[in-house]
Chains A and B, each alone.
Chain A
Amino acid sequence: MKIGVFVCHCGSNIAGTVDVATVAKEARKMPDVAFASDTMYACSEPGQDGIIEAIKEHKLDGVVVASCTPRMHEPTFRRTVERAGLNKYMFEMANIREHVSWIGKDTEANTAKAIDLVSMAAAKLVHNKGLTPKSFSVNKRVMVVGGGVAGIQAALDCADGGLEVVLVEKTPSIGGKMSKLDKTFPTVDCSSCILGPKMVDIAQHPNITLYTNAEIAEIQGYVGNFDITVNKKASYVDWEACTGCGLCTEKCPSKKSRDVFNEEIGTTTAINIPFPQAIPKKATIDAEFCRKLTNGKCGVCEKICPTKAIRFEQQDEPVSESVGAIVVATGYDLFDHTRYGEYGGGRYADVITSMQYERLLSASGPTGGHVKRPSDGKEPKNVVFIQCVGSRDKSVGRPYCSGFCCMYTAKQAILTKDHMPESQSYVFYMDIRAPGKMYDEFTRRAMEEYGTKYIRGRVSMIYPMGDKYIVRGADTLMGTQVEVEADMVVLAVGAEASKGAPQLAEKLRISYDSYGFYMESHPKLKPVETNTAGVYLAGCCQGPKDIPTSVGQGSASAAKVLALFSKDQLESDPQISEVDIKRCIGCGKCIETCPFGAIEEIDFRGMPKANVIETICQGCGICTSTCPQGAIQLQHFTDNQILAEVNVLCQQTLQQSFE
């Protein structure tokens, strides 16, 4: 076999701390290596052309590139060797950047390790064989999980592109956090006026199937062919029959049900429609507060309903859906401010969250848009806003910036003045982070035109005094302590990952970070892809974002889905397990250990044997290390290939030990 080795400088990324010329020189001495050189940027056009030329000139059978991570450029170089006429699996990559040059500064040690990695790759390559992908057909339907603004955008774009879309939302109505907002920054336009029509489009689009009050129960399959079980939670109302007339909500005697839509700043009836623009506009019963469901007495709604839609006996119902791609747009949750004991931690009635304040400002909110203190219903005069509650604070485990709080606080300060011209707003802030288009101008308007007093510093404590609250903090620009007398305090709570996000990630088999936010495939170049093919991200499930960015990402993920579905057939990855039928004794251990359910038992001439379902196998290799017979082998990572790597490494160590 004739192998070519190309050692990449990666500018100074690798060459800075690895002697690449020596690595190439040593590579020439390795068995089967017919050609070796170092190259400035192997991934560049001249770099790739150089590889192709060398393959042709030296009649090479395989290529090793020693450069960056395979995640970055393995597909690039595979295409390169393919262009030169080789099978693309006759290629190996040695990672001498992330595994060598970026982790140590000792050139001698780095060079030695780089040589080791190259020799391992070359030894493995000797045992490589050409693999051919198989193709399979694609189910051109898409599921969008989460009905906030990002999910709505993704669903509409996919549907307008001609795809059949299934939208799943866990609450009774779509709209998400945006539907709760009174106005949006920096335009101060009505949130529900711009979102409402999009919500209606979802309801009326012929290509969209909408499941609200529903959650993902189970996901099977792979890109192109996912089988998903959706659990439709009991609403105790037949939504086919319900017309959303609202008679039941007027007559329901249980009026203390939690008002989730209004952030529990008000109460609602046990049977309710979350808000006037809800899509679908159907009633749902809160089982915890319904008198009929808790103690069997009442049933007023059942008697009054003109369409006889009430179903107290209704149960959760599973629905099966088959799709080819999934867009995850599950959004975020707000930080629980009660963790800040010094701010009153939920003890003081007039210390509220920013979202609660948003509901007080909203004309469709519990006070009809009149700002009233929860404690006594009086209109506040001095309103103090505290930023970074659950953002940029390591002590509560939220070191990251939530990004949008500076902006919504400025908006709320402006709206406060609009609602109550006699009022005075104060904002305690750490820095103003307003990098978007017209954003900085907007925060300046809050200060300059609306007279909001911005105080740079953290608040150490809030305590009630009489019917007011004393807000004590530092003014770090003045270098002094300040106390502000407030009638109402609004905590600008930060964002955190949606509850249950890690559990959903495990069902989707995508990665998430230590805070529960979903991880994109590449932070810069693959911002809406995940590492699981066919699963895309949109909106705040990936990290806090404002509305424009969420919408942009919703469209981006829709574009990705449309591009994926532009092909009728997809190629499967041939790096999967394969059973040597002669060696297999049918013990079934591989079937038990496979986390993807990709191995089945078949009858082969009266004997039980294992069989790999190619499209489900993810190539993880657990089965190969389980098989007592060595009968199941992961293609491209066979026992022989891995042993070849180990041997070449150990031989050197063995020789050293005898010297």
Chain B
Amino acid sequence: MSSSLTFAYYPGCSGLGTSLEYDTSTRAICAALGVELVDIPDWSCCGSTPAHTVDHTLSSALSARNIAQAEELDVQGIITPCPSCLTNLKTASHRMEDEAFKEKVNKLLEKPVENKLPIMSVLQLLHEQVGVEKVAEKVVKPLEGLRLAPYYGCIMNRPPEVMNFDDCENPIAMDELMAALGADVAPFPLKVECCGASFGVARKDIVAKLSGKLLDAAEDVEAHAFVTACPLCQMNLDLRQSQVNSLTGSKHDMPVFYYTQLIGKALGLDAKSLQMDKLCVPPSKAFRKMEEAQQANAS
């Protein structure tokens, strides 16, 4: 195999819907960093949150089908930007290390899965395969002066024996990537705290409390913006920020970026592929602060 990186890409359902900007910016930076993405042909739902609460075999079969589809490609592994998809793919793969379980899953599939391909998040790919140094080399517009609160969400690194990436209590992959872009990374203490997840539909009060706490903490460390790795977290912090404000009486006004958008910006990619305009809290405020800091520094 050549030294170039070729990966099967699993966008997940939110990548084509609520987090379109995550998907397009991921594709854009991968192209810029020399990672070739091959979309998994005819991919299906990973099972998301409901499937594993009903039946572990069925839930694993849903993910296993996607793994089997990817196995037909000439790739070095499977990547996905979404931590929830990642959890399902990795959990299925982890469970199928037990041959008896794998057999049960294969009974449900049209074609059997081999379960040999490594599966990782785009974040892990950038951190471990591409490398922080390579990203730093490609930076043309450093994010100097932009103070960021890195927020990973609760499942990117958990459970550690399945996800097997970074520290489950104090992950640093995104911190290092952001620092490589020249950004000022705040020591954000709630990196892996729950945002309220899908309770945004059923119990807005819970999300308001949990996401509100994250926003408070980010302000406490004087961050200009959040940088996230999970579509659901991003939505709860960004889209629901006004809901949080009205329910808790706070006045948060903090942009919530995907880390892929910020990498794209530092690499000088065009605005269209980064789709900053899709963010609910306008990012301009944070960029203005960044520019002010850069000017103050220059003079």
CB-based contact B189/A345 at 8 Å: no
**Residue-wise interface mask of A (461-498) relative to B, using a CB-CB cutoff of 8 A (1 in contact, 0 not):** 10111100000000000000000000000000000000
CB-based contact B167/A465 at 8 Å: no
Q: Across the two chains, which residue of chain A brings its CB closest to B168? A: A341
CB-based contact B190/A345 at 8 Å: no
CB-based contact A465/B220 at 8 Å: yes
CB-based contact A341/B217 at 8 Å: no
- Chain A residues, CB < 8 A from B216: 465
Across the interface, B170 reaches (CB within 8 A) one of A345, A464, A465, namely A345
- Chain B residues, CB < 8 A from A53: none
CB-based contact B169/A463 at 8 Å: no
Is B187 at the interface (CB under 8 A from chain A)? yes
Shortest distance from the beta carbon of A609 to any chain B beta carbon, whole Å: 59
Shortest distance from the beta carbon of B96 to any chain A beta carbon, whole Å: 25
Interface size class of B (residues with CB under 8 A): 10 to 19
CB-based contact A463/B168 at 8 Å: no
Q: How distant is the Cα of A341 from the Cα of B193 in the complex, in angstroms?
A: 13
Is A98 at the interface (CB under 8 A from chain B)? no
CB-based contact B169/A341 at 8 Å: yes
Is A513 at the interface (CB under 8 A from chain B)? no
CB-based contact B167/A463 at 8 Å: no
165-189 of chain B: CB within 8 A of chain A? 167-170, 187, 189
CB-based contact B190/A341 at 8 Å: no
CB-based contact B220/A347 at 8 Å: no
CB-based contact A463/B170 at 8 Å: no
Given contacts A463-B189, A463-B190, A464-B189, contact A345 B169 (CB under 8 A): yes
CB-based contact A347/B170 at 8 Å: yes
Q: How distant is the Cα of A544 from the Cα of B220 in the complex, in angstroms?
A: 42
**Residue-wise interface mask of B (186-206) relative to A, using a CB-CB cutoff of 8 A (1 in contact, 0 not):** 010110010000000000000
Most chain-B CB neighbours within 10 Å: which of A345, A347, A463? A463
CB-based contact B217/A347 at 8 Å: no
Across the interface, A465 reaches (CB within 8 A) one of B169, B187, B217, namely B217
CB-based contact A466/B170 at 8 Å: no
Q: Across the two chains, which residue of chain A brings its CB closest to B217? A: A465
- Chain A residues, CB < 8 A from B187: 347
- Chain A residues, CB < 8 A from B220: 465-466
Shortest distance from the beta carbon of B203 to any chain A beta carbon, whole Å: 16
CB-based contact A341/B167 at 8 Å: yes
Is A506 at the interface (CB under 8 A from chain B)? no
Q: How distant is the Cα of A345 from the Cα of B170 in the complex, in angstroms?
A: 9
Is A342 at the interface (CB under 8 A from chain B)? yes
Q: How distant is the Cα of A340 from the Cα of B190 in the complex, in angstroms?
A: 15
Q: How distant is the Cα of A466 from the Cα of B216 in the complex, in angstroms?
A: 10
Shortest distance from the beta carbon of A274 to any chain B beta carbon, whole Å: 33
Q: Across the two chains, which residue of chain B brings its CB closest to A470? A: B189
Shortest distance from the beta carbon of A309 to any chain B beta carbon, whole Å: 46
Q: How distant is the Cα of A465 from the Cα of B212 in the complex, in angstroms?
A: 14
Q: Across the two chains, which residue of chain B brings its CB closest to A348? A: B189
- Chain A residues, CB < 8 A from B189: 463-465
Across the interface, B217 reaches (CB within 8 A) one of A340, A342, A463, namely A463
CB-based contact A342/B169 at 8 Å: yes
- Chain A residues, CB < 8 A from B167: 341
**Residue-wise interface mask of A (145-166) relative to B, using a CB-CB cutoff of 8 A (1 in contact, 0 not):** 0000000000000000000000
Q: How distant is the Cα of A345 from the Cα of B217 in the complex, in angstroms?
A: 19
Q: How distant is the Cα of A340 from the Cα of B168 in the complex, in angstroms?
A: 11
**Residue-wise interface mask of A (427-465) relative to B, using a CB-CB cutoff of 8 A (1 in contact, 0 not):** 000000000000000000000000000000000010111
- Chain A residues, CB < 8 A from B170: 341, 345, 347
Q: How distant is the Cα of A347 from the Cα of B187 in the complex, in angstroms?
A: 10
122-164 of chain B: CB within 8 A of chain A? none
Q: How distant is the Cα of A342 from the Cα of B168 in the complex, in angstroms?
A: 9
Shortest distance from the beta carbon of B166 to any chain A beta carbon, whole Å: 11
Shortest distance from the beta carbon of B98 to any chain A beta carbon, whole Å: 22
Q: How distant is the Cα of A345 from the Cα of B216 in the complex, in angstroms?
A: 23
Q: How distant is the Cα of A347 from the Cα of B189 in the complex, in angstroms?
A: 10
Q: Across the two chains, which residue of chain A brings its CB closest to B169? A: A341
- Chain A residues, CB < 8 A from B169: 340-342, 345
Q: Across the two chains, which residue of chain B brings its CB closest to A341? A: B169
**Residue-wise interface mask of B (216-236) relative to A, using a CB-CB cutoff of 8 A (1 in contact, 0 not):** 110010000000000000000
Q: Across the two chains, which residue of chain B brings its CB closest to A466? A: B220
- Chain A residues, CB < 8 A from B168: 341
- Chain B residues, CB < 8 A from A345: 169-170
Q: How distant is the Cα of A465 from the Cα of B190 in the complex, in angstroms?
A: 10
312-350 of chain A: CB within 8 A of chain B? 340-342, 345, 347
- Chain B residues, CB < 8 A from A461: 193
Q: How distant is the Cα of A342 from the Cα of B160 in the complex, in angstroms?
A: 13
Shortest distance from the beta carbon of A347 to any chain B beta carbon, whole Å: 7
Q: How distant is the Cα of A461 from the Cα of B216 in the complex, in angstroms?
A: 17
Most chain-B CB neighbours within 10 Å: which of A340, A347, A464? A464
357-390 of chain A: CB within 8 A of chain B? none
Q: Across the two chains, which residue of chain B brings its CB closest to A469? A: B189
Shortest distance from the beta carbon of A91 to any chain B beta carbon, whole Å: 53
136-151 of chain A: CB within 8 A of chain B? none
- Chain A residues, CB < 8 A from B193: 461
- Chain B residues, CB < 8 A from A465: 189, 216-217, 220
- Chain B residues, CB < 8 A from A466: 220
Shortest distance from the beta carbon of B171 to any chain A beta carbon, whole Å: 9
Most chain-A CB neighbours within 10 Å: which of B168, B170, B189? B189
Q: How distant is the Cα of A341 from the Cα of B190 in the complex, in angstroms?
A: 12
580-607 of chain A: CB within 8 A of chain B? none
Shortest distance from the beta carbon of B214 to any chain A beta carbon, whole Å: 11
Shortest distance from the beta carbon of A468 to any chain B beta carbon, whole Å: 10
Q: Across the two chains, which residue of chain A brings its CB closest to B221? A: A464
- Chain B residues, CB < 8 A from A463: 189-190, 217
- Chain B residues, CB < 8 A from A340: 169
Shortest distance from the beta carbon of A4 to any chain B beta carbon, whole Å: 56
Shortest distance from the beta carbon of A489 to any chain B beta carbon, whole Å: 13
Q: How distant is the Cα of A345 from the Cα of B191 in the complex, in angstroms?
A: 14
Q: How distant is the Cα of A461 from the Cα of B189 in the complex, in angstroms?
A: 10
Q: Across the two chains, which residue of chain A brings its CB closest to B189? A: A463
Shortest distance from the beta carbon of B218 to any chain A beta carbon, whole Å: 11
Q: How distant is the Cα of A168 from the Cα of B216 in the complex, in angstroms?
A: 56
Shortest distance from the beta carbon of B100 to any chain A beta carbon, whole Å: 26
Q: How distant is the Cα of A347 from the Cα of B168 in the complex, in angstroms?
A: 15
Q: How distant is the Cα of A466 from the Cα of B217 in the complex, in angstroms?
A: 9
Q: How distant is the Cα of A463 from the Cα of B220 in the complex, in angstroms?
A: 12
- Chain A residues, CB < 8 A from B217: 463, 465
Q: How distant is the Cα of A199 from the Cα of B238 in the complex, in angstroms?
A: 65
20 contacts between A and B (CB under 8 A): A340-B169, A341-B167, A341-B168, A341-B169, A341-B170, A342-B169, A345-B169, A345-B170, A347-B170, A347-B187, A461-B193, A463-B189, A463-B190, A463-B217, A464-B189, A465-B189, A465-B216, A465-B217, A465-B220, A466-B220
Given contacts A341-B167, A342-B169, A347-B170, could you give 4 more A-B pairs where the C-beta distance is less than 8 Å?
A345-B169, A465-B189, A465-B216, A466-B220
Q: Rank and list the top 5 A-B pairs by shortest CB-CB distance, nearest first.
A: A341-B169, A463-B189, A342-B169, A341-B170, A464-B189
